[in-house]
């Protein structure tokens, strides 16, 4: 199962952490960079589906970096996330084919809707099976947090490895029905509860 990967670029570490925490919870694989001069190297080493890019950064502006990104990859989805919107930067961003131009502070709803729209438009939409794995993983994580269980405690209760439980929560591994039964039992939930609308 392919997990959609996102590179978040912002010199403000708190913004990077906020976006990373939210997107990981949504099932994305996320890397962050606070130094814009490292972005091109990262894009050459890793196959990202999307870049979320701040415009005002030291050493290299977001518009300059966007131009460099387009030089090496004309198709990658880029979301501009800026605290200082202007007609000029919006116009330049559009000319460089950004997928979205969002002003800070961004709400999780706006970011989720924007990411969903872009993944559909770019043909990156997850399959129904991937969506089901994500839904199961989110439900297990939510129930585990509600009961204040750590992954290690869940591993003891289920006799499953911490690594496997973590992979299931992140939708990186598909679990057997027997495994999901053990997880549901450990969470005092019904097996059907883990599937939500699926």
Equal fold, 5-121 vs 128-195? no
The helix, strand and coil proportions of the chain, stated in percent and rounded to the nearest 5, come to 55, 10, 35
* pTM attached to this predicted model: 0.62
CATH number of the domain at 128-195, please? 1.10.260.40
Residue-wise pLDDT for 97-155, tens only, equals 888 899 888 888 899 888 888 887 776 655 667 778 888 888 999 999 999 999 999 99
Contacts of residue 84, defined as CB under 8 A and 6 or more positions apart, other chains included, come to 55, 56
Find residue 5's DSSP bridge partners. 29
Nearest to 31 by CA among 71, 3, 68, 69: 3
pLDDT at 195: 84
Nearest to 6 by CA among 14, 27, 184, 15: 27
95 pLDDT more than 50: yes
Residue 100, helix vs strand vs coil: strand
Separation between Cα atoms, residue 39 and residue 136, nearest integer Å? 33
**What's the CATH number of domain 5-121, 3.90.1150.10, 3.40.50.2300, 3.90.79.10, 3.40.50.300?**
3.40.50.2300
Residue-wise pLDDT for 23-42, tens only, equals 998 888 999 999 999 999 99
Domain boundaries, the chain: 5-121, 128-195
């Amino acid at each position: 199962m392919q997990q959609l990967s996102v590179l978040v670029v912002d010199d403000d570490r708190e913004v990077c952490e906020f976006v990373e925490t939210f997107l990981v919870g949504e099932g994305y694989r996320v890397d962050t960079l606070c130094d814009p001069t490292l972005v091109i190297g990262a894009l050459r080493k890793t196959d990202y589906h999307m870049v979320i890019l701040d415009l005002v950064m030291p050493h290299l502006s977001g518009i300059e970096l966007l131009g460099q990104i387009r030089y090496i990859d004309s198709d990658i989805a880029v979301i501009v996330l800026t605290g200082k919107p202007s007609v000029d930067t919006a116009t330049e961003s559009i000319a460089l084919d950004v997928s979205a131009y969002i002003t800070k502070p961004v709400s999780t709803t706006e970011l989720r809707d924007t990411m969903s729209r872009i993944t559909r438009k770019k043909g990156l939409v997850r399959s129904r099976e991937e969506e089901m794995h994500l839904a199961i993983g989110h439900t297990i994580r939510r129930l585990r947090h509600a009961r204040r269980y750590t992954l290690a405690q869940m591993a003891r209760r289920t006799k499953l490895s911490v690594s496997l439980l973590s992979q299931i929560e992140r939708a990186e591994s598909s679990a057997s029905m027997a495994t999901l039964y053990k997880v549901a039992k450990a969470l005092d939930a019904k097996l059907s509860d883990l599937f939500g609308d699926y």
